[in-house]
Amino acid sequence: MYKQTGKNISQQEKDITRINEEIKVPKVRVIDQDGKQLGIYITREAIRLARERELDLVEIAPKAEPPVCKIIDFGKFKYEKQKREKTQKKNQIVSVLKEIRFHPNTDTHDFDFKTKHAINFLEEGNKVKAVVMFKGRELAYTKYGEDLLNKFIERISDIAKVESPIKMEGRNMNVIVAPDKSKTKKK
């Protein structure tokens, strides 16, 4: 027989909602199915009250003093909880940082092509990091890289805003732009 790790046990405890006889505290604050507070009851009495209404006593706030329990149908409670978690997960926006690389001597067609990709990334809601990579002696001409990034910022300024300004990091010069919500909603 294998011993369970502490991580699994704590995860299981977090997911478990205690109902009816699983509630071991002596007194609980009871709320009925309409959301009206009934007061503080001895746990056995609260369970009896729930059974009379053919419902369950569900522990809502176990950390409160005394713990808060609600008289509701447990199946319905579980379903609504899952539904609420699903909508929260759906509404959570995940922003990804996409990277576009240039060199100081990038040709105009290549620049236009990469800028179009950056615009597509921004329209999808992702941030874009534009990087000018310097090799060898190109490092002496950082002005070209800065001009290129300024031109890039100017091209995408109608749908994006600069999140972090142009800066030099080692042999790379970069800028991070994020989609501008106020400008994209108007379109």
Is residue 184 very low, low, confident or very high in pLDDT (cuts 50, 70, 90)?
low
Task: Say how far residue 74 (Cα) sits from the centre of its chain.
Answer: 28
Q: Is the pLDDT of residue 186 over 70?
A: no
Identify the pLDDT of residue 18. 87
Residue 134 near residue 173, CB atoms below 8 Å: yes
Q: Hey, is 108 helix, strand or coil? A: helix
Query: What single letter denotes the amino acid at residue 25?
Result: V
pTM of the predicted protein model: 0.53
pLDDT of res. 15: 59
**C-beta separation of 128 from 147 below 8 A:** no
Q: For residue range 21-59, list pLDDT tens digits in order.
A: 888 899 999 998 888 999 999 999 999 999 998 899 999
Packed helices 142-156 and 108-123: angle between N→C axes, nearest 10 degrees = 50
pLDDT in tens, 111-145: 999 999 999 999 988 999 999 999 999 888 899 99
Rounded to 5 degrees, what angle do the CA atoms 40, 43, 45 make? 85
Whether 67 contacts 61, CB under 8 Å? yes
Write the pLDDT tens digit of every residue in 70-122: 999 988 888 988 998 888 888 777 778 999 999 999 899 999 999 999 999 99
Evaluate if residue 7 carries a pLDDT over 70. no
Strands 97-102 and 127-133: what pairing? parallel
Domains and CATH numbers, the chain: 6-89 (3.10.20.80), 97-186 (3.30.110.10)
Q: How many residues does the chain have?
A: 187
HEC-encoded secondary structure of 109-174: HHHHHHHHHHHHHHHCCCEEEEEEECCHHHHHHHHHHHHHHHHHHHHHCCCEEEEEEEEEECCEEE
**Per-residue pLDDT, 185:** 52
Nearest to 152 by CA among 95, 180, 110, 185: 110
Is the pLDDT confidence value at 147 over 90?
yes
pLDDT of 4 above 60: no
How far is residue 82 CA from its own chain's centroid? 17
